Structure 1
Amino acid sequence: MIETLLQLSSGAASGSTTGTGNSYSFIILMVVLFVVMYFVTIRPQRKRQKEEQEMRNSLEIGDEIITIGGIVGKVVTIREEDLVIETGADRTKMKIQRWAVNTNKTKMEQHRKEVEAAKEAAKKKKEEKAAAKGKAVKGKTEKAEESSEKKEEK
């Protein structure tokens, strides 16, 4: 791709016979490259930032959190831009900025349990479906055996 860009730019600079065609294709190529870069890097980063902001805004008193510095604590007080957390066995209180929260362990555990419950429900449903299918196959085989026995009797 880089080679193509270099060829297009050198062709336009050398003044080839199709100079306008090359310059249009170069512009189109640059636009396509920008669109690809947007969807590969910028959009996922914005999505991640939005999720982090939602997590920070949904903090509640009693949530166990981990800060960007690695401090683990329980939220005691919530204000506009800062939190007070308790940490350690001696319940030391620390005031931190809301943006310094990295992970909400309480919400993460709840989400993990919900995912496990959903997987378990899907597994049970799949097993029930397989069992029902097995009964249907078993019923068909029994009917086939009965009909073959009747034919043998005749």
Structure 2
Amino acid sequence: MILMMVGVFVIMYFLMIRPQKKKQKEEQAMRDNLQIGDEITTIGGIVGKIVTVKDDSLIIETGADRNRMKITRWAISQNNTANEKLAAERAAAKEAAEKEKAARMEAKGKTPKAKKKKEEKF
């Protein structure tokens, strides 16, 4: 009976508590790495560019009038600048992989270009 209770607790830990702690660490790292010029989104949906960084607060510019707002770090839900950089890196990696795959296919003679080259040789 005790063994079953311990087993249930271990399962709950790995399915619920551990992923939540990992997510909190990632969010805290994102908030600690904010820099001037980053575009952020708050938990309220406000999008702005960071103008000033202080210990526990930030000042952001938002809107066409460039209004400034003071917000706390915990109110930031995502760093749009970092997300854009990550998406660009992934796209570049995907493009490079596709080029490499096309080159391998051509070397094996499985593309129309390679077949034409083989026919020209004969």
Q: Same fold (TM over 0.5)?
A: yes
Larger helix percent: 1
Residue 128 of structure 1 aligns with an amino acid whose one-letter code is A
52-61 or 120-129, which moves further after superposition? 120-129
Match of 1:44 in 2: 19
Give CA deviations for 1:86-139 in whole Å, capped at 9, x if unaligned.
Answer: 11111111000011011111110000001111111111111111211227xx7x
Provide TM-score, normalisation by structure 2.
Answer: 0.87
Deviation above 6 Å: which 4+ runs of structure 1?
Answer: none
Match of 1:56 in 2: 31
Partners of 2:86 and 2:18 in 1: CA distance: 24
Percent identity at matched positions? Answer: 60
Given candidates 128, 131, 151, the residue that maps to 2:103 is 128
Match of 1:78 in 2: 53
Residue 33 of structure 1 aligns with an amino acid whose one-letter code is V
Highest relative contact order (Cα 8 Å, sep 6+), 1 or 2?
A: 2
Gaps of 5+ in 1: 1-25, 147-154
Provide TM-score, normalisation by structure 1.
Answer: 0.69
Partners of 2:79 and 2:73 in 1: CA distance: 12
Residue 47 of structure 1 aligns with an amino acid whose one-letter code is K
Q: Over the residues paired in the alignment, what is the CA RMSD in angstroms?
A: 1.9
Residue 100 of structure 1 aligns with an amino acid whose one-letter code is A
Give CA deviations for 1:21-77 in whole Å, capped at 9, x if unaligned.
Answer: xxxxx1111111111111111111111111100110110001111000111110000
Whichever of the two has the greater Rg, that structure is 1
115-124 or 60-69, which moves further after superposition? 115-124
Larger strand percent: 2
Aligned length: 115
